[in-house]
């Protein structure tokens, strides 16, 4: 397969996300949760019944879980105050565990990655993505390398050619197996750019560190020569001095990523308009301490079709 240069301009032509099936194709995929969901707009009866029922939510463990709990407990307190019902944050042990909890109704709301959000909505049809970070329509990953790996540093410009010759045969780690920015999209780009699977392109089977911070730590320690990580985690750890032995060697094209998805039966439990009210209070968050839980500057409305390209990639790669 020919090596390709993906540019910001070509990606923006597909509404800011990577599209595999063509811009405006209207594809809904094979799953039941990929079409947009109509949300009752009138919030007059929102959270007017079963007000003693605890609304539980979780987040994919893309960082240290104890740190996430401390931050999302503050979000739970905010939501409880705004909605008038008890709200509890429930930590997830893994990305797949967050999807399973959502499927089993152990949680009703979750801060998912692009892939886990698609998976959750496929398993619970009628569930809408309601918010995403302001940064999420144009999210991206970094390929990072240990300074001693001998790989040229990224030139800082979008559209730089994938450094195929320099990366070939190196030891490599993804993040979680179900991560969008730490596995799905990096694997897609590896296959597109090299025509090979990660196993064939790198030295043996790639590792899975479990989370983005673990990936940075592993490459920084020299346990692996190269890793794929979301840009936000890398930049935060680098600023804190926790990536002093790492360099960025490639920036991926943009794609849509994180989202807050809610079960479609929330209105049945708490009253018509509850989903719309929940979306409203999440988008209204402007406290930097609360936004820090999401590692975002703001939350904006989202809908299922915003993540159709992610669903297409997942289907193509057999996720």
| Residue 225: inside a domain | yes
The residue-averaged pLDDT of 246-256 equals 98
273 found inside a domain: yes
Confidence of residue 20 (pLDDT cuts 50, 70, 90): very low
Average pLDDT over residues 5-33: 39
Distance between CA atoms of 300 and 259, rounded to whole angstroms?
10
Range of the domain at 176: 140-251
Tell me: pLDDT of 8 over 80: no
Between 57-66, 205-214, 222-231, the lowest mean confidence (pLDDT) is in 57-66
Task: Let me know whether 297 and 267 are in one domain.
Answer: yes
pLDDT tens-digit series, residues 270-299: 999 999 999 999 999 999 999 999 999 999
**Whether 31 and 130 share a structural domain:** yes
Tokens of 182: 């730490």
- Taking the C-alpha atoms of residue 308 and residue 319, their distance in angstroms, rounded to an integer, is 14
Picking from 251, 279, 308, the residue at the C-terminal end of a domain is 251
Same domain flag for 209 and 79: no
Average pLDDT, the chain: 91
* Contact assessment for residue 282 and residue 15, using Cβ atoms and an 8 Å cutoff: no
- 109 and 177 share one domain: no
Judged against a pLDDT cut of 80, whether residue 17 lies above it is answered with: no
Residue 66: pLDDT over 60: yes
Same domain, 289 and 226: no
Q: Are residues 172 and 113 in the same domain?
A: no
For the chain, how far is it from start to end, CA to CA, in angstroms? 22
**Is residue 95 one of the residues assigned to a domain?**
yes
Q: Flag whether 2 is in a domain.
A: no
In this prediction, residue 33 carries a pLDDT of 55
**Average pLDDT score over residue span 15-32:** 39
Is 8 part of a structural domain of the chain? Answer: no
Instruction: Examine the domain organization and report whether 64 and 147 are in the same domain.
Output: no
* Mean pLDDT, range 306-312, rounded to an integer: 96
277, part of any domain: yes
- Domain contains 93: yes
Domain end, chosen from 251, 268, 291, is at 251
pLDDT band at 138 (very low <50, low <70, confident <90, very high): very high
pLDDT, position 21: 36
State how far the Cα of 42 lies from the Cα of 280, in Å rounded to an integer.
Answer: 11
pLDDT digits over 144-182, tens only? 999 999 999 999 999 999 999 999 999 999 999 999 999
Looking at the structure, tell me whether residues 161 and 187 fall in a common domain: yes
Same-domain check for residues 297 and 240: no
Same domain for 166 and 185:
yes
Query: 63: pLDDT confidence band, cut at 50, 70 and 90?
Result: confident
Mean pLDDT of 51-78: 95
Q: What is the pLDDT of residue 65?
A: 87
CA atoms within 13 A on the CB side of 244: 3
CB 167 within 8 A of CB 226: yes
pLDDT at 276: 98
In a domain, 7, yes or no: no
312 alpha-carbon distance from chain centroid: 15
Whether the per-residue pLDDT at 32 is higher than 50: the answer is no
Same domain, 219 and 262: no
Residue that is last in its domain, among 202, 229, 251 = 251
Alpha carbon distance 135, 299 (integer Å):
9
User: By three-state DSSP, how is residue 137 classified?
Assistant: helix
**For residue 3, is pLDDT > 80?**
no
Burial 164-201 (b: 16+ CB within 10 A, else e): eebbeebbbbbbbebbbbbbbbbbbbbbbbbeeebeeb
For position 64, what pLDDT does the model report? Answer: 85
| pLDDT (0 to 100) of residue 22 | 35
Q: How many helices (H) and strands (E) does the chain have?
A: 13, 11
Closest C-alpha to 186, from 22, 319, 308, 21 = 319
CATH code of the domain in which 172 resides = 3.40.190.10
- The per-residue pLDDT for 31 is 46
What is the share, in percent, of the chain residues with pLDDT greater than 90? Answer: 87
Residues 70, 218 share a domain: no
| Number of folded domains that form the chain | 2
């Amino acid at each position: 397969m020919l090596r390709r240069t993906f540019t910001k301009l070509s990606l923006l032509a597909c509404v800011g996300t990577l599209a595999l099936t063509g811009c405006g194709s209207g594809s809904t995929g094979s799953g039941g949760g990929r079409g947009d969901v109509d949300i009752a707009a009138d919030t007059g009866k929102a959270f007017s019944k079963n007000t003693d029922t605890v609304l539980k939510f979780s987040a994919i463990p893309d960082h240290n879980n104890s740190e996430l709990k401390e931050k999302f407990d503050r979000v739970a307190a905010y939501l409880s105050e705004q909605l008038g019902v008890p709200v509890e944050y429930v930590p997830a042990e893994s990305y797949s565990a967050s999807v399973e909890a959502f499927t089993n109704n152990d949680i009703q709301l979750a801060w998912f990655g692009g892939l886990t959000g698609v998976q959750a909505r496929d398993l619970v049809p009628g569930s809408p993505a309601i918010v995403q970070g302001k940064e999420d329509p144009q999210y991206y990953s970094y390929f990072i390398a240990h300074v001693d790996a001998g790989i040229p540093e990224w030139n800082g410009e979008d559209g730089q050619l994938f450094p195929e010759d320099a990366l070939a045969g190196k030891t490599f780690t993804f993040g979680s197996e179900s991560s969008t920015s730490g596995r799905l999209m990096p694997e897609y780009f590896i296959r597109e750019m090299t025509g090979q699977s990660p196993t064939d392109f790198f030295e043996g089977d790639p590792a899975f560190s479990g989370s983005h911070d673990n990936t940075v730590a592993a490459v920084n320690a020299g346990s692996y020569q190269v890793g794929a990580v979301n840009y936000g985690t890398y930049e935060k750890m680098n600023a804190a001095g926790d990536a002093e032995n790492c360099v960025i060697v490639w920036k991926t094209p943009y794609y849509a990523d994180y989202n807050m998805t809610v079960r479609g039966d929330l209105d049945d439990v708490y009253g018509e308009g509850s989903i719309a009210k929940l979306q409203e209070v999440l988008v209204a968050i402007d406290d930097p301490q609360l936004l820090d839980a999401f590692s975002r500057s703001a939350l904006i409305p989202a809908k299922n079709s915003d993540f159709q390209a992610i669903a297409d990639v997942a289907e193509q790669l057999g996720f």
